[in-house]
Structure 1
Amino acid sequence: MPTRRDLLAGLGATAAAGVAGCVQIGSSGSAPAAGDADTATAVGTESEAAAADQPADATSTAVYESTIQSVVGVLNYGRNGPQGSGSGFVAGDGYVVTNQHVVAGATEVKLRFQGNEWHDAEIVGTDAYSDLAVLRADERPDSATPLSWVDTDPEPPVGTSVMAIGSPYGFSGSASTGIISGVDRVLSAPNNFTVADSVQTDAALNPGNSGGPLVTFEGEVAAVAARGGGDNIGFGVSAELSKRVVPELAETGDYAHPFMGVRLLEVSPVIAEAYDLDDVGGVLIVEVREDGPAAGTLEGSDDETVVDGVQVPTGGDVIVGIGGTDVAVQADLSNYLALETSPGDEVEFTVVRDGRESTVSFELGERPDPGL
């Protein structure tokens, strides 16, 4: 059976001649997803001039036509009726991936496949810390075949062409194109935690795009669209993190994230000066939870000083490495924990304490429930 890459290669030459036109298929008229912060303006058309710059085997129309049947609208029903909508896509063995915030608080979920075909769905698992959710529908069209994740070794680099497909403002089957404009981003998550290894894009993401796929021009999912951040900037959960979380959600309904039990502050020039560090890099331990995994091993700040008019916590460890990997910014630490470790792992940390570098280790715990 031909793969999506094969189909894209075959469709490219034909699609290049006629890619102009609206990709919007219809409108459900439903409300945007509750909590969806996407803000950029959706683009529903592709000009012939822009298409001429694309490789013949990777036109926007070819990408769209090879993936659209696998993209769904997600309608969230609460006790009082519809309370939000978003997007999703078929993956794995036929389950549907979306964002946790798209289905939060739902008592019933309906999926809208292409051709205005609706099916009920069950929420199999959700994870607020990665903003991912897995749904299961008893029925789905034969044409809604699973999309594949990109090869993440290495991950797609900045500049990779991508297409966001979903239902912004309830307009199903809408597409916008752009590039991966940043990688290794860290976004906010519940309870003062973060979503690690997020992908940044300039493809338009609007309310209702959340949960839909951000696909490469080879038709593979590079990220799960999660939110917009302003003009020409949006974010998605990376394929690498999704490939760790989604199968666990599909199998068990839950995912256990590693937990250090510390509060961190990225080293800035004034912190580096206060700690007499040669380089601006690393993360400062501001606080260690008394009952947390790092208690008794890592030391938090116990005093403060003023540098250039800025109050700086002092006395805490500065983490400059984890598992043999350098830590220059907080994303380095967050991404290593998210992608390389699990609760129960014994992990080595390189720290600067009292001006001297040393190595310490402890067993990681599991993040507490987001509601705690």
Structure 2
Amino acid sequence: MEDSDSSRRRFLAVCGTALSAGIAGCSDSILGGDPEDTTPVDPDPSTPAPDPGGDGGADGTAGDFERFDADADSSYADVYRSTVGSVAQIQVYTGGPSPSQGTGFVYSDGHVVTNQHVVEGAESIYLRFDDSGWLDATVRGTDVYSDLAVLSVEELPESAEPLALRESDPAVGTEVIAIGNPFGYSGSVSAGIVSGVDRTLPAANDFTIPDAIQTDAPVNPGNSGGPLVTLDGSVAGVVNAGGGDNIGFAISAPLVRQVVPSLLETGGYEHSYMGVRLQTVGPHLAEANGVDERVGVYIAVVRDGGPSDGVLRGTTGSTAIDGQSVDTGGDVVVALDDTTIRTSRALSSFLALETSPGDTIDVTVLRDGEEQTVELTLGSRPDPT
């Protein structure tokens, strides 16, 4: 979970199209101009928006749940039927002229998980389920570094049961569906597969969100905070960003399992912190630093006064290779405890999923061509600025 230049460059290179096309990770303001969007936004749940009723057919409006065909016979339909009642449309008022919107899902009795950016700056929050009116919600806890938040709701409808979280990431190629409220069309479902795992997403202060899931299931503004569900009905991740062609991302269920209990208990979460800046070892770094296997994580910078100060070594010089300046002298991390570390993504995932602040871990490094192991006591990541 350390800041990583290489992981950010990879993300931006892959997602340039997604960012230019629109980000599901940015809460969507209610959009006008759609001929079907005839239901006015109502900030006061005591006077709810008109319900056109009926079966949600051609006259259905944005913001109204589409009724599914009870006779539909497919795995997607089965999963949708079993989970949609636990998915909420969220409207957030921040003092602007119109609300932003997102999605959430029931985590436990009275608690809904969504994205932190969906509720950031909220003055009031309302949500509704498939068979409920607008309900008041309050923020129970948030974590900007994982982009997760928990909302408290006094009374959930009976059909809004907690969704199970997967204990591990699904395999690449696993079929998934995303349920949410893109552009206000509540209860929408899109389908795809898991395109990749162990991705990194940008977070505050140049940190990253590790262990993210990549999917080609279409996600758009308004899907933020909704569940990415495998066909056994369990949540693989919380939709975070998307909008490009066939590329979307979700915060993994294992990371949700790690963060959310603390949000419920304390309102926040403390992330393990090494106090270093990382680069994944490539051909140039390997050649410059005498690393034969061209794998591992190079320590570019050790933060003054941080947990690694005096324990690990950062860059001490540079050399030119193929006309480029390449850092030299820093430690190359090849293992944490008994886990082999080949990339900065692997290091970040290990810290996020296997450690807590205050833990002491064994760090195996290559230093001056020799392998050695040092003990490092992890700190807590600084508060975002």
- Change over 3 Å in CA distance of 1:296–1:229 after alignment to 2: farther
Quote the residue 1:27 is aligned against.
62
Q: 1:367 to 1:293 in 2, by over 3 A?
A: same
Distance 1:170 1:133 in 2: 20
- In the alignment, the residues of structure 1 paired with residue 366 and residue 225 of structure 2 have an alpha-carbon distance, to the nearest angstrom, of 41
CA distance in 2, matches of 1:109, 1:342: 32
Normalized against structure 2, the TM-score is what?
0.81
Q: Name the counterpart of 2:103.
A: 87
Which of 339, 350, 355 is the aligned partner of 2:364? 350
Q: Alignment partner for residue 274 of structure 1, among 278, 281, 288? A: 288
SS of the residue 1:172 aligns to: coil
Displacement of 1:229 in angstroms is 5.9
- Aligned-partner residue type, residue 59 of structure 1: S
Deviation at 1:83, TM superposition (A): 4.0
Q: Residues 308 and 67 from structure 1, CA distance in 2 versus in 1: closer, same or farther, beyond 3 angstroms?
A: same
Q: Tell me, yes or no, if structure 1 residue 120 matches structure 2 residue 136.
A: yes
Residue type at the aligned position of 2:91: L
Name the residue aligned to 1:361: 375
Residue 326 of structure 2 is aligned to residue 312 of structure 1: yes
Aligned letter for 2:137?
Answer: A
Aligned counterparts, 1:193-342, within 5 A:
193-228=207-242, 230-342=244-356
Cα distance in 2 for partners of 1:140, 1:72 equals: 10
1:215 Cα deviation (Å)?
0.6
Assess, with a 3 A threshold, how the Cα gap between structure 1 residues 75 and 132 changes in structure 2: closer, same or farther: same
Partner of 1:102: 118
Counterpart CA distance in 1 for 2:291 and 2:182 is: 48
Please state if 1:147 is matched with 2:182.
Answer: no
User: For residues 58 and 149 of structure 2, what CA distance do their matches in structure 1 show?
Assistant: 27
Counterpart residue identity of residue 352, structure 1: L
What whole-Å deviation, never above 9, does each CA across 1:140-182 have from its counterpart, x for those lacking one? Answer: 2111111111232xx3211111110000111101000011111
Structure 1 residues 116 and 291, CA gap change in structure 2 (3 angstroms): same
Cα distance per residue 1:22-43 (max 9 Å; x no partner): 89974139xxxxxxxxxxxxxx
- How many residues align structurally? 327
The question of 1:159 aligning with 2:173 is answered yes
Q: Could you tell me how far 1:219 is from its partner in structure 2?
A: 0.9
- Alpha-carbon deviation of 1:93? 2.7
Which of 68, 76, 85 is residue 69 of structure 1 equivalent to? 85
- Alignment match, 1:175: 189
The corresponding residue for 1:138 is: 154
Distance in 2 of aligned mates of 1:326 and 1:23:
55
Cα distance in structure 1, aligned partners of 2:339 and 2:134:
48
Unaligned runs of 5+ in 2: 1-55
Cα distance in 1 for partners of 2:383, 2:57 equals: 44
Tell me by how many angstroms 1:279 deviates. 1.1
Going from structure 1 to structure 2, the CA distance change for 1:24 and 1:247 (only over 3 Å counts) comes to farther
**Alignment partners' CA distance in 2, 1:211 and 1:121:** 15
* TM-align CA RMSD: 2.3
Alpha-carbon separation, structure 2, partners of 1:109 and 1:177:
28
Residues in 2 aligned to 1:24 and 1:259: alpha-carbon distance in whole angstroms: 53
Q: Is the 8 A contact 2:132 2:157 kept in 1?
A: no
- Equivalent-residue separation in structure 1 for 2:270 and 2:294 (angstroms): 32
- Taking the aligned partners of 2:226 and 2:60, their CA distance within structure 1 comes to 16
8 Å Cα contact 2:263-2:269 kept in structure 1? yes
Q: Is the contact between residue 218 and residue 243 of structure 2 (CA under 8 Å) also seen in structure 1?
A: no
The question of whether the paired residues in 2 share the 8 Å contact of 1:26 and 1:173 is answered with no
Secondary structure at the aligned position of 2:313 is classed as coil
Aligned to 1:4: none
Residue 94 of structure 2 aligns to which amino acid in structure 1? G
Contact 1:306 1:312 in 2 (8 A): yes
What TM-score results when the alignment is normalised by the length of structure 1? Answer: 0.84
Q: Secondary structure at the match of 1:250?
A: helix
Distance in 2 between residues matched to 1:358 and 1:315, nearest whole Å: 15
Asked if 1 retains the 8 angstrom alpha-carbon contact of 2:279 and 2:299, the reply is yes
Q: Which residue of the partner structure matches residue 14 of structure 2?
A: none
Structure 2 contact 109–161 (Cα < 8 Å) conserved = no
